[in-house]
Amino acid sequence: MVDVILGLQWGDEGKGKIVDYFASQYDVIARFQGGPNAGHTLYIGDKKVVLHQIPSGIFHADKINLIGNGVVLDVVTLKKECEAVAAFGCEYKKNLFISERTHLILPTHRALDKASEQSKGNDKIGSTLKGIGPAYMDKTGRNGLRVGDLLRKDFRNEYDKLRSKHQQLLDNFDFQEDISQWESDFFEALEFLKGLNIVNGEYFINEQISQGKRILAEGAQGSMLDVDFGTFPFVTSSNTISAGVCSGLGIAPQKIKEVIGITKAYCTRVGSGPFPTELMDATGAYLRNTGNEFGSTTGRPRRCGWIDLVALRFACMINGITQIVMTKADILDALAELKVCTSYRIDGQETASIPFQMNHLNIEAVYQTFAGWNTSSAQMTSIEDMPVEMKKYIDFINQYLGVSIQYISNGPGRDQLVSA
């Protein structure tokens, strides 16, 4: 049996904490897509830990953690992460496994990412410059190198051939930056990778399923960044929705049971692209500062706005969401008035559907207003403690979406998660 946890917005919904919370109920936690642009933040005691590629179940010693074939892997970042979790006493060599079909991010992928973004001028996508896009391009172009290729005697020759192709592209961009240190770090990290558990991922995970083990598939980024269904072209380079679980881990659709979607009580977005409910005023600044809305990977300030139910219902539909977890509800505690977007107004017409190309349209968000609860929810431990105004807010969202919010996160702590 496989359950899925993924983001329903533009990423940064707090998935790391939620996966960590649910991990005790599962035997295997598996990442199925994305790269080191993901930043899943956990708090171990009073210490903050950000995981970029290692699944968020790594701090549970009895859990298997698998990096699936749908991920593009930055081995330098992986080495640093392994060293970081080891400082907390995690024996990653025992419970971290990597699919041999996982594609590698090369130093030249990072260079191509940077060169491409620089060439766009004011039309930048907002890439994290980690090389994710170019790595996925090589994957779909059938040029990439995979973790299993490390075992080939001619790996270095294959690397040099691909690097030569990349260099031609870099020359076209007139990219002059010296990446020799990147390459040195890369080959050092490859030696480290060889000492980890490299497995045939699809057989590995299906064997776990056949043994009756419970699998939790962990997504990165968010549904509105999906390469097919997100706000294209301002999207990531992988399928972030539940369909990506099958191709990213090698499991059949009928194996999936629960699909748990994560949403904030408001909205954020990092980088460029359409954002209909964005607030450029004091309220937006309040959400950013109170919610500490700065990218866990890049440190960039996140754009903040009211919750967008049009986008959220769309995400629930394409993912087949069966239950929702709402995070950062406590950030709204001090606001006297709250708004939720219930439709878009485009060229004078209202719609509750996501349009084809959002960035080509002038979209005005249509709101319904709610009274704030004006009291701290951080100490809330049960549904009975929920302020009346918060319950009205939650009930309206449930009714609009047709899917129920089952858990509400009211603080960063591991135990600050209330069952609704």
Establish whether 149 is a catalytic residue: no
Do the beta carbons of residue 299 and residue 376 sit within 8 Å?
Answer: no
Do the beta carbons of residue 175 and residue 40 sit within 8 Å?
Answer: no
The pLDDT score that the predictor gives to residue 21 is: 86
Residue that terminates a domain, selected from 260, 280, 295:
260
Q: What percent of the chain has pLDDT over 70?
A: 97
The answer to whether residues 18 and 92 belong to one domain is: yes
The answer to whether residues 91 and 214 belong to one domain is: yes
Domain harbouring 352, CATH code: 3.90.170.10
Return the CA Rg of the chain.
21
Q: Is the pLDDT of residue 325 over 90?
A: yes
Residue 129 binned pLDDT confidence (cut-offs 50, 70, 90): confident
The answer to whether residues 24 and 128 belong to one domain is: no
Domain harbouring 28, CATH code: 3.40.440.10
The answer to whether residues 291 and 225 belong to one domain is: no
Domain harbouring 133, CATH code: 1.10.300.10
The answer to whether residues 399 and 270 belong to one domain is: yes
The pLDDT score that the predictor gives to residue 353 is: 97
DSSP sequence for 265-284:
SSEEE-SSS--TTB--SHHH
Which segments of 60-161 are extended strands (E)? 64-67, 72-73, 96-99, 103-104
Sign of CA dihedral 271, 320, 204, 228: negative
The answer to whether residues 15 and 80 belong to one domain is: yes
Residue that terminates a domain, selected from 209, 237, 260:
260
Task: Name the catalytic one among 20, 27, 40, 74.
Answer: 40
Residue 342 binned pLDDT confidence (cut-offs 50, 70, 90): very high
Q: Is the pLDDT of residue 124 over 80?
A: no
Residue that terminates a domain, selected from 193, 213, 233:
193
The answer to whether residues 280 and 383 belong to one domain is: yes
DSSP sequence for 336-400:
SEEEEEEEEEETTEEESS--S-GGGS-EEEEEEEEE---S--TT--SGGGS-HHHHHHHHHHHHH
The answer to whether residues 325 and 404 belong to one domain is: yes
Q: Is the pLDDT of residue 297 over 70?
A: no
Do the beta carbons of residue 138 and residue 144 sit within 8 Å?
Answer: yes
pTM metric for this prediction: 0.92
The answer to whether residues 311 and 400 belong to one domain is: yes
Task: Name the catalytic one among 3, 12, 27, 226.
Answer: 12
Q: Is the pLDDT of residue 61 over 70?
A: yes
Domain hosting 170: range is: 106-193
Establish whether 27 is a catalytic residue: no
Do the beta carbons of residue 105 and residue 74 sit within 8 Å?
Answer: yes
Count structural domains, the chain.
3
Q: How far is it, in rounded angstroms, from Cα 183 to Cα 190?
A: 10
Q: Is the pLDDT of residue 226 over 80?
A: yes
CB atoms within 10 A of CB 419: 9
Instruction: Share the mean pLDDT of the chain.
Output: 92
